[in-house]
Amino acid sequence: MNGAHALMKTLADAGIEVCFSNPGTSEMHFVAALDAEPRMRAVLALFEGVATGAADGYARMAGKPAAVLLHLGCGLGNGLANLHNARKGKVPIVNIVGDHATTHVQYDAQLQSDIETVARNVSPGFVRTSQTTAALCQDAVDAVQAARGLPGQVATLILPADVSWGEGGQPCPPPPQPASPTADDATVQAIAALVKNGKKTALLLGGHALREPALLAAARIAAHSGVQLLAEVFPTRMERGAGLPAVERIAYLAEMAGVQLAPIEQLILVDAKAPVSFFAYPGKKSYLVPDGCSIHTLATPAQDAAASLRQLADALGASQTPPRLQAPRRPERPRGRLTAPKVCKAVGALLPDNAIVIDEAITSGLMLGVMTQGAPRHDLITLTGGAIGQGLPNAVGAAIACPDRPVIALVGDGTAMYTIQALWTMAREGLNVTAIIFNNASYSVLGVELDRVGAGEGGPKAQSQLDLHGPQLNFAQLAQGMGVHATRAQTSNDFCQALEYALAQPGPHLIEALVPESLAGAKRRVLPWLLKSLPNLPQPVAQALKRKIAP
Q: Could you say which residues in the range 72-111 bind a second copy, by CB under 8 A?
A: 73-75, 77-81, 84, 87-88, 100-101, 103-104, 107-111
Q: Would you put residue 295 in left (φ > 0), alpha (ψ -120 to 50) or beta?
A: beta
Question: Is the CB of 238 or the CB of 316 nearer to a second copy?
Answer: 238
C-alpha distances (whole Å) from 407 to each of 54, 247, 391, 513 are 13, 22, 11, 17
Q: Would you put residue 386 in left (φ > 0), alpha (ψ -120 to 50) or beta?
A: left
Q: Which one of the spans 174-182, 196-204, 216-224, 380-388 is the region binding a second copy (CB under 8 A)?
A: 380-388
Contact code string over 44-73 relative to a second copy, x by CB under 8 A: x-xx-x-----------------------x
* Residue 20 near a second copy by CB under 8 A: no
* Residue 480 near a second copy by CB under 8 A: yes
Helix count and strand count (H, E) for the chain: 22, 18
* Residue 205 near a second copy by CB under 8 A: no
Contacting residue, 176, 198, 336, 460, with a second copy by CB under 8 A:
460
Please enumerate in sequence order all residues whose Cβ is within 8 A of that of 107, keeping only pairs 6 or more positions apart, or say none: none
Contacting residue, 330, 333, 428, 532, with a second copy by CB under 8 A:
428
Site for a second copy in 235-274 (CB under 8 A): 273
Amino acid at the residue 245: P
- Report the nearest approach of a second copy to the CB of residue 70 (Å): 11
- Taking Cα atoms as reference points, which of 83, 24, 76 lies closest to residue 53? 83
Contacting residue, 32, 531, 541, 542, with a second copy by CB under 8 A:
32
Contacting residue, 198, 292, 470, 538, with a second copy by CB under 8 A:
470
Please enumerate in sequence order all residues whose Cβ is within 8 A of that of 1, keeping only pairs 6 or more positions apart, or say none: 167, 168, 169, 170, 171
Question: Is the CB of 122 or the CB of 227 nearer to a second copy?
Answer: 122
- Taking Cα atoms as reference points, which of 422, 419, 398, 387 lies closest to residue 121? 387
Strand, helix or coil for residue 71: strand
Site for a second copy in 123-182 (CB under 8 A): 124, 161-162, 165
Counting Cβ atoms within 10 Å, is residue 200 exposed (0-12), middle (13-18) or buried (19+)? middle
Contacting residue, 420, 437, 510, 513, with a second copy by CB under 8 A:
420
Please enumerate in sequence order all residues whose Cβ is within 8 A of that of 51, keeping only pairs 6 or more positions apart, or say none: 20, 21, 22, 43, 45, 68, 69, 70, 79, 393
* Residue 117 near a second copy by CB under 8 A: yes
Site for a second copy in 431-450 (CB under 8 A): 445-446, 449-450
* Residue 474 near a second copy by CB under 8 A: yes
- Report the nearest approach of a second copy to the CB of residue 81 (Å): 4
